[in-house]
């Protein structure tokens, strides 16, 4: 019988195949753990340590213990009614849980997990209330299941303590969202599905997604997906769409050559979550993927700006420290590459003051170039600038930030152009598109995740070469946007 732990539930939610591979995959097929992943683990350990040190209340520390000894001591601490237990362990039949904290509340105990990210998901524009994170909720539900089995539960709730020391209560019987089931139901379903996969009662399949980026099975899964012509190799076709389509169109080639006329008049989506027009669009994407000399094109009319004064803008931020540490600008006039220049505003201190000073300098640069159009890629820069403005309101006003990201001043190359086009690439990231266009980053490992790890290294060492590596990477990101814009100017529109 498979043993289900909190980390298995967390991983299963991200990718069921990862759970299978971690349990049953051959170690020789694994990629090395990336330095960024290692940093995330170290960060998790350090946040937990800081959180425990700041509890300000006595607790029983069982963290040095392992296995059976840890479990025996946890159960006897619960029997004695210890107020707070750190690093305990409970198991029963198919379940194993190691909650960070168990706190006595009322007549029983409640589980508290310490996380190095925010405790909740931010609310969307329409519904501003923050929402519980399913991955956190199901982990707390597992610990509570174990407490219930031990006859020691305070009730069907738990707490997440986040990186800022904020403690958020998770109710297991409340729905996760307006159209979602409760944490309790999600937990039951996930636990059963993970057990079926681990007991080999149901097979899992890889699916290319954002979760693959940092996964140790990436090379192996990509080989498998390519060999099978898996539909997730198409941009924006994830596991759910692939699973909906795979019965009718098992491979990319199959979809590319399929006769879709029988679906054309369908008023109802012919496949769950896939309308008839979307199916046609996916076939176009599949045809591009199997073409011998594929060329990108716009699906719909796109008017690219023509301002002779251009700024290509990209920021780098460290989500672990909660800091934006670099604002990069590549400036070009009249499309002349020889006139191109880079302006980098780097936070010389990894502190709020350092972040504020860099933001103020970047804002000053943007204000002095008010006649330039600002190109950026997706909503990240806007989101971060709104947050920076709220944090440092003396630098600029909220209206100033909205004006900067308004269509009169800026252009989102992703949302306004790429999202209306088709590319023979695995995804629509700036890395994939600019690489397809022949652009090469100077770094051998260019990624946002890697740059966060380099920044962490720079903060600890102030190594000049590491700082230069970050600046070069950011500059190349900006130049990649320029390459993309120039290529899109001659891209055909809706060639049928």
Decide whether 55 or 211 has the Cβ nearer to ligand SF4.
Answer: 211
Is residue 221 at the binding interface for ligand SF4, with CB under 6 A as the rule? yes
Q: Least CB distance from residue 205 to ligand SF4, whole Å?
A: 8
Is residue 39 at the binding interface for ligand SF4, with CB under 6 A as the rule? no
Tell me, residue by residue from 282 to 321, as one string, x for binding to ligand SF4 by CB under 6 A and - for no binding: ----------------------------------------
Question: Of these, 4, 8, 13, 15, which contacts ligand SF4 (CB under 6 A)?
Answer: 15
Question: Of these, 4, 8, 13, 21, which contacts ligand SF4 (CB under 6 A)?
Answer: 21
Decide whether 31 or 42 has the Cβ nearer to ligand SF4.
Answer: 31
Decide whether 217 or 458 has the Cβ nearer to ligand SF4.
Answer: 217
Q: Estimate to the nearest angstrom the gap between the alpha carbon of 426 and the chain centroid.
A: 17
Decide whether 217 or 325 has the Cβ nearer to ligand SF4.
Answer: 217
- Which part of the chain contacts ligand SF4 (CB under 6 A), choosing from 75-83, 110-118, 215-223, 406-414? 215-223
Distances (CA, A) of 309 to 318, 335, 339, 381, 403: 30, 8, 11, 20, 18
Number of CB atoms found within 10 A of residue 377's CB: 24
DSSP character string of 323-367: EEEEEEEEEEETT-GGG-EEEEEE-SSSSHHHHHHHHHHHHHHHH
# chain residues binding ligand SF4, by CB under 6 A? 12
Helix (H, G, I), strand (E, B) or coil at 380: helix
Residue 258 and residue 283: Cα distance in Å, rounded?
8
Q: Which residues pair with 4 in a beta bridge?
A: 95
Q: Bin 310: left if φ > 0, else alpha if -120 < ψ < 50, else beta.
A: beta
Residue 227 and residue 223: Cα distance in Å, rounded?
6
Decide whether 48 or 230 has the Cβ nearer to ligand SF4.
Answer: 230
Is residue 195 at the binding interface for ligand SF4, with CB under 6 A as the rule? no
Is residue 29 at the binding interface for ligand SF4, with CB under 6 A as the rule? no
Question: Of these, 198, 215, 413, 478, which contacts ligand SF4 (CB under 6 A)?
Answer: 215
Is residue 237 at the binding interface for ligand SF4, with CB under 6 A as the rule? no
Q: Least CB distance from residue 197 to ligand SF4, whole Å?
A: 12
Q: Which residues pair with 323 in a beta bridge?
A: 318
**How is residue 50 annotated by DSSP?**
H
Torsion of CA 73, 75, 78, 82, to 10 degrees: 0
Decide whether 34 or 74 has the Cβ nearer to ligand SF4.
Answer: 34
Mention every residue, 6+ apart, whose C-beta is less than 8 A from residue 32.
Answer: 216
Q: What are phi and psi of 47, to 5 degrees?
A: -65, -40
- Which part of the chain contacts ligand SF4 (CB under 6 A), choosing from 144-152, 153-161, 214-222, 245-253? 214-222
- Which part of the chain contacts ligand SF4 (CB under 6 A), choosing from 107-115, 160-168, 206-214, 337-345? 206-214
Residue 87 and residue 463: Cα distance in Å, rounded?
36
- Binding interface with ligand SF4 (CB under 6 A): 15, 17-18, 21, 206-207, 211-212, 215, 217-218, 221
């Amino acid at each position: 019988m498979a043993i289900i732990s909190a980390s298995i539930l967390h991983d299963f939610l991200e990718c069921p195949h990862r759970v299978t591979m971690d349990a049953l995959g051959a170690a020789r097929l694994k990629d090395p753990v990336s330095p960024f992943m290692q940093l995330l683990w170290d960060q998790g350990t350090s946040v937990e340590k800081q959180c425990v040190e700041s509890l300000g209340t006595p607790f029983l520390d069982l963290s040095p213990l392992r296995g059976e000894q840890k479990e025996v001591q946890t159960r006897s601490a619960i029997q004695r009614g210890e107020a707070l237990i750190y690093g305990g362990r409970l198991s029963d039949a198919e379940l194993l849980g190691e909650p960070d904290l168990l706190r006595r509340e009322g007549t029983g105990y409640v589980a508290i997990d310490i996380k190095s990210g925010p405790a909740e998901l931010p609310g969307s524009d329409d519904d501003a209330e923050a929402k519980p994170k399913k991955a956190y909720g199901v982990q707390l539900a597992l610990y509570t299941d174990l407490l219930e089995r031990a006859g020691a539960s305070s009730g069907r709730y738990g707490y997440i303590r986040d990186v800022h020391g904020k403690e958020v209560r998770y109710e297991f019987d409340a729905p996760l969202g307006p159209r979602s089931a409760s944490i309790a139901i999600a937990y039951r379903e996930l636990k059963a599905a993970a057990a079926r996969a681990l007991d080999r009662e149901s097979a899992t399949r890889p699916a290319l997604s954002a979760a693959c980026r940092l996964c140790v099975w990436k090379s192996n899964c990509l080989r498998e997906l390519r060999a099978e012509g898996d539909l997730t190799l198409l941009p924006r076709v994830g596991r759910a769409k692939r699973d909906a389509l795979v019965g009718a169109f098992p491979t990319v080639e199959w979809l590319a050559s399929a006769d879709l006329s029988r679906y054309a008049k369908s008023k109802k989506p012919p496949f769950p979550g896939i309308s008839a027009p979307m199916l046609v669009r996916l076939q176009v994407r599949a045809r591009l993927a199997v073409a011998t000399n594929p060329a990108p094109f716009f699906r719909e009319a796109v008017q690219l700006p023509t301002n002779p004064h251009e700024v290509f803008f990209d920021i780098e931020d460290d989500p672990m420290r909660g800091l934006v540490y670099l604002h990069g600008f590549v400036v070009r006039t009249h499309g002349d590459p020889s006139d191109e220049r880079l302006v980098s505003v780097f936070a010389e201190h990894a502190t709020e003051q350092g972040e504020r000073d860099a933001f103020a300098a970047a804002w000053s640069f943007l204000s002095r170039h008010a006649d330039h159009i600002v190109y950026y890629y997706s909503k990240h820069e806007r989101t971060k600038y709104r947050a920076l403005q709220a944090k440092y309101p003396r630098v600029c006003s909220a209206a100033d930030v909205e004006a900067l990201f308004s269509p009169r001043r800026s252009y989102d190359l992703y949302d306004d152009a790429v999202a209306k086009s088709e590319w023979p690439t695995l995804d629509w990231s700036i890395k994939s598109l600019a690489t397809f266009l022949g652009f090469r980053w100077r770094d051998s490992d260019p990624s946002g995740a890697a740059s966060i790890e380099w920044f962490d290294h720079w903060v600890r060492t102030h190594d000049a070469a590491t700082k230069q590596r970050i600046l070069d990477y950011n500059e190349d990101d900006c130049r990649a946007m320029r390459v993309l814009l120039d290529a899109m100017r001659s891209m055909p529109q809706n060639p049928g």
